[in-house]
Structure 1
Amino acid sequence: MSGGSEAERLVAELVDVLDLERIEENLFRGQNSADASFRLFGGQVIAQALVAASRTVADDRQPHSLHAYFMRPGAVDVPVVYQVERDRDGSSFSTRRVVAIQNGKPIFNLAASFQIAEDGYEHQFDMPDVTPPEELKSETEWRQSWIGEIPEKLRPHFTRERPIDFRRVDQAAPGKEGREPRQIVWFRAQAALPDDPALHRCMLAYASDMTLLSTCQRPHGLKWYSGEVQVASLDHALWFHAPARADDWLLYVQDSPWAGGARGMNRGLIYDRRGRMIASVAQEGLMRPRK
């Protein structure tokens, strides 16, 4: 775990960002990270919408899946209001719909399903055997190793500390053409989190959007900072398979089976260090060439 007050400050701030204000029945308000720049991070909106939905469901029901669409870019200087629709509470499952609103317009919507704990048949894909995180560079160290390629005006944003630490198994710099559309990263919160399973699930949702979109760019040698491509998350789906701590190392195995029509499809499997699969992710992203 990273030491020092800066890492603890960043994680504490993210915990605060995920603690929504209830302003009315089924209506919540979320603040944005003070560290936000450019546009609102999609993972934050996913996580906040999941918080809003979870606060309208009985405690014995945990989220098992969510499906979301990004409709408009979010503004970093305006709070986000989350309106929850309680669609159904059955004997085993509950379903919720959430719309995220800024300036009177929807920017994002999410559907989530919750289930009581049940036993059933089990199987999973095995976790790949990869280099452990302790032997890999931190995200900050990795970015510093090729900072000279980044335009000077983007360097402060590129090198700033973040609340989630990523350790990339492939330590090469981006932009090399012909790479496989696959990548594997370890991640965890930079500091210890409270013992709240709901918070750890929302942190997982937040982090699941941080590296996935770049997977479909790898075969094409694309660099987000070059101006040659417009990228944005279009939708995001996440399935929770088992509880896990977001402040312990988790392995994110990602691939991109297809790209076309200015879009790229990305998938991910998330494991804990014991090799237990805890989540699956899918996302389609905009990957539009710029002339």
Structure 2
Amino acid sequence: MALVFISPRLLVTIFEPPPLDPSKAAIENVLELTPISDIGPDVFTNTRPLWHPPGARGIYGGAVIAQCLSAAQLTVPDNFFVHSMHCYFVLAGDSEIPIVYHVERVRTGRSYATRTVQARQRGRPIFTTTLSFNAANSGGKRKVEHDSKMPDAPPPKELPTPPEARSPFESQRLDDSPLLISDDTNIEDRKLRQWIRTRGKISQAGGHQAHLSAFAYMSDSYFIGTVARLHQIPRFSSPAALQRALKALKNPSDLDSEALSRYFKELADEEAAEIRAGTLNGTLTANRLSSIMKRNDSREIGMIALRADDWLLVSMDSPWAGEGRGLVTQKVWSREGVHVATCIQEVFSIFDFYL
């Protein structure tokens, strides 16, 4: 078993990555797992190198969340759908070391199944999650139902994908979000809204599992910026803050220094423009997806309504912040108005990310 170093960024995988599969969406290739049968039947590793966002402490958290979900889905019957996922980041992930995902089959019943997954590096857990799965159509004929209604929002625009786009998903901010209607607006009443979807079409072979994993990947992209932006706190408040961010990079040689400076300068200018316009819609990374909820209705299964490769409307707000932490909720609707997911995160060390 040999470690494979992939130039020029020296990102590591345990096994040599296979060629990208053109029949799959980019996000499917990003989240692909490889079983490690020499260790155990329910042990997996990342097939491809993991992304370390510029200026971040570790790898993009959404990738670990999504791959833990993917690993757990490989151990349950195909007719079982995840309905909740409770997650904790323990340590920042290192992009130069492969991640090993250990799945424990806690229980498998006729209607529900429970799994725990630990993501480990150097033998230590960096992330842990407990997931609950529900068999399709196991809720019975008599149901008690209610749901959150989709807020009014302008439809997403169909724009061409820029040739330089590297992200496996895209987003469109809604400039009419009712954020800073006036200085008297309560912080807890302000909301950030945007449309999100994966780039390309998720393959039929990927099934509902690929859509759910892709959504888990995307959902972690907007949490940590919500609290600070609702408070009108820019990430880079001065040239000195820009320099501190550059010095904090894990691998400053990964990118050309001029390109890095331009990247952070553009980000700072964008945030300043948003503050002036009073629209503060964030796209910064976060660290934990605490739940993915499903809708029960008369369809084959509620989660079929969640198609990650079609536009999803995301609305975020923050009901509380204090003691260096902030609580953020995220509700997600399909384009047709079906409430497909609810995510909740308590963000830690907010000002570690907003200098």
Q: Do both proteins adopt the same fold according to a TM-score greater than 0.5, normalized to the shorter chain?
A: yes
Aligned residues with identical type, % of pairs: 34
Map 1:18-37; keep pairs closer than 5 Å: 18-24=31-37, 25-33=41-49, 35-37=51-53
CA distance in structure 1 between the partners assigned to 2:334 and 2:69 by the alignment: 21
Which residue is 2:150 aligned to? 127
Label 1:60 to 1:116 Cα distance change in 2 as closer, same or farther (>3 A). Answer: same
Label 1:29 to 1:216 Cα distance change in 2 as closer, same or farther (>3 A). Answer: same
Letter in 2 for 1:220: H
Label 1:116 to 1:168 Cα distance change in 2 as closer, same or farther (>3 A). Answer: same
CA distance in structure 1 between the partners assigned to 2:344 and 2:82 by the alignment: 16
Task: Pick from 214, 218, 223 the counterpart of residue 225 of structure 2.
Answer: 214
Label 1:255 to 1:103 Cα distance change in 2 as closer, same or farther (>3 A). Answer: same
- Unpaired runs of 5+ residues, structure 2, are 1-20, 246-284, 296-302
CA distance in structure 1 between the partners assigned to 2:50 and 2:106 by the alignment: 34
**Local SS of the residue matching 1:222:** coil
Scaled by the length of structure 2, the TM-score of the pair is 0.66
Letter in 2 for 1:19: E
RMSD: 3.1
Moved more, 113-122 or 251-260: 113-122
**Local SS of the residue matching 1:240:** coil
Letter in 1 for 2:292: L
Letter in 2 for 1:279: A
Label 1:106 to 1:225 Cα distance change in 2 as closer, same or farther (>3 A). Answer: farther
Q: Is the 8 A contact 1:139 1:166 kept in 2?
A: no
Which residue is 1:251 aligned to? 313
Matched, 1:236 2:245: no
Moved more, 79-88 or 110-119: 110-119
Of structures 1 and 2, the larger Rg is shown by 2
Which residue is 1:5 aligned to? none
Map 1:133-172; keep pairs closer than 5 Å: 133-134=156-157, 161-170=166-175
Moved more, 46-55 or 71-80: 71-80
Q: Is the 8 A contact 1:32 1:77 kept in 2?
A: no
**Local SS of the residue matching 1:76:** coil
CA distance in structure 2 between the partners assigned to 1:47 and 1:70 by the alignment: 13
Q: For 1:220-250, what per-residue CA distance to the aligned partner results, in whole angstroms no more than 9, with x for missing partners?
A: 2222344499985256322233322111111
Give the deviation of 1:77 after TM superposition: 2.1
Give the deviation of 1:26 after TM superposition: 1.1
CA distance in structure 2 between the partners assigned to 1:31 and 1:79 by the alignment: 9
Number of residue-to-residue matches in the alignment: 263
Q: For 1:124-159, what per-residue CA distance to the aligned partner results, in whole angstroms no more than 9, with x for missing partners?
A: 111001111118x8998xxxxxxxxxxxxxxxxxx9
**Local SS of the residue matching 2:166:** coil
Letter in 1 for 2:74: R
Which residue is 1:147 aligned to? none
Map 1:58-137; keep pairs closer than 5 Å: 58-118=77-137, 119=139, 120-134=143-157
Give the deviation of 1:31 after TM superposition: 3.8
Letter in 1 for 2:321: A
Q: Is the 8 A contact 1:232 1:286 kept in 2?
A: no
CA distance in structure 2 between the partners assigned to 1:265 and 1:124 by the alignment: 22
CA distance in structure 2 between the partners assigned to 1:209 and 1:115 by the alignment: 23
**Local SS of the residue matching 1:72:** coil
Scaled by the length of structure 1, the TM-score of the pair is 0.80
Moved more, 81-90 or 111-120: 111-120
**Local SS of the residue matching 2:75:** coil
CA distance in structure 2 between the partners assigned to 1:40 and 1:49 by the alignment: 14
Label 1:56 to 1:34 Cα distance change in 2 as closer, same or farther (>3 A). Answer: closer
CA distance in structure 1 between the partners assigned to 2:336 and 2:126 by the alignment: 38
Q: Is the 8 A contact 2:62 2:287 kept in 1?
A: no
Give the deviation of 1:35 after TM superposition: 5.0
CA distance in structure 2 between the partners assigned to 1:171 and 1:49 by the alignment: 35
**Local SS of the residue matching 1:214:** helix
**Local SS of the residue matching 1:213:** helix
CA distance in structure 2 between the partners assigned to 1:12 and 1:267 by the alignment: 28
Map 1:171-186; keep pairs closer than 5 Å: 180=187, 181-186=190-195
CA distance in structure 1 between the partners assigned to 2:108 and 2:86 by the alignment: 18
Give the deviation of 1:281 after TM superposition: 0.6
Which residue is 1:150 aligned to? none
Map 1:274-289; keep pairs closer than 5 Å: 274-289=336-351
Q: For 1:193-218, what per-residue CA distance to the aligned partner results, in whole angstroms no more than 9, with x for missing partners?
A: 11221100110111111112221112
